[in-house]
Amino acid sequence: MLKILIHALLACCLIPSALAEQPAPSAVPDWFTKDVLFHARDGGVWQADNSAYQSEQEPYDAYVLHWQAGPGNFSMTGRMWGLVDGKPTSQDFWSFYQFWNPETQEAIVQQSGWGAVGIGRLRLQRHAEQMQTIMRHRFVDHAGNSNEMLHKLTGVDDDRYRTEAFDVKDGGKQVANRVYLWERRPK
């Protein structure tokens, strides 16, 4: 009985002190939750004109993104599809998951579609009048081929943002790829 009492006392004394010594989880940065709220606000639907890149292989007149904030605005999920003659494609092209990793203190973006997976980091570039974030992804397709891309996302106003995509070549050289202006749409 004395042995049980000693174990109980030790547990009562040691466990709370062990818990108290663990570092408190750090807060998610304000810029990250603002980014989530910006994208997911008012239904989270965005559309970008694709006429500059439209072709026989890419018949889409526009692309549409739909973002939904996760609990506490610490993450968001998204999906992207195309429009042909104003009508949505039958399936999504890309699925996204963006979240704050409290262990590494980084914003992570995962993207999948077309048999490829992209994983990268999102970071704040500047936070002046309009926020700009930089997203760098490494993509691997179903055949094992890989490439790296960089996206600059710059707020234009409360209902528009601009994306600039760059292919990242060996040695880190950035080659301009595409530019889109995304406009908020009613859900």
Number of domains making up the chain: 1
**Residue showing tokens 């439209």:** 54
Mean pLDDT of 65-86: 97
Mean pLDDT of 58-62: 97
Residue 101, domain member (yes or no): yes
Answer yes or no: is pLDDT of 64 > 60.
yes
pLDDT digits 0-9 by tens, 13-44: 444 444 444 445 568 999 999 999 999 999 99
Give the structural domain span for 45. 29-185
pLDDT more than 90, % of the chain: 79
Task: Evaluate whether 129 touches 141 at the Cβ level (below 8 Å).
Answer: no
pTM beyond 0.85: the answer is: no
Query: What is the CATH classification number for the domain harbouring 78?
Result: 2.40.128.20
pLDDT digits 0-9 by tens, 99-143: 999 999 999 999 999 999 999 999 998 766 678 899 999 999 999
Residue 148, domain member (yes or no): yes
Residue 24, domain member (yes or no): no
Mean pLDDT of 45-56: 98
Rounded Cα–Cα distance for residues 36 and 11 (Å)? 42
Residue 23, domain member (yes or no): no
Residue 14, domain member (yes or no): no
Give the CA angle between residues 139, 145, 151 to the nearest 5°.
25
Mean pLDDT of 79-99: 96
Residue 54, domain member (yes or no): yes
Strand partners, 185: 45
Residue 72, domain member (yes or no): yes
Residue 142: helix, strand or coil by DSSP? coil
Residue 3, domain member (yes or no): no
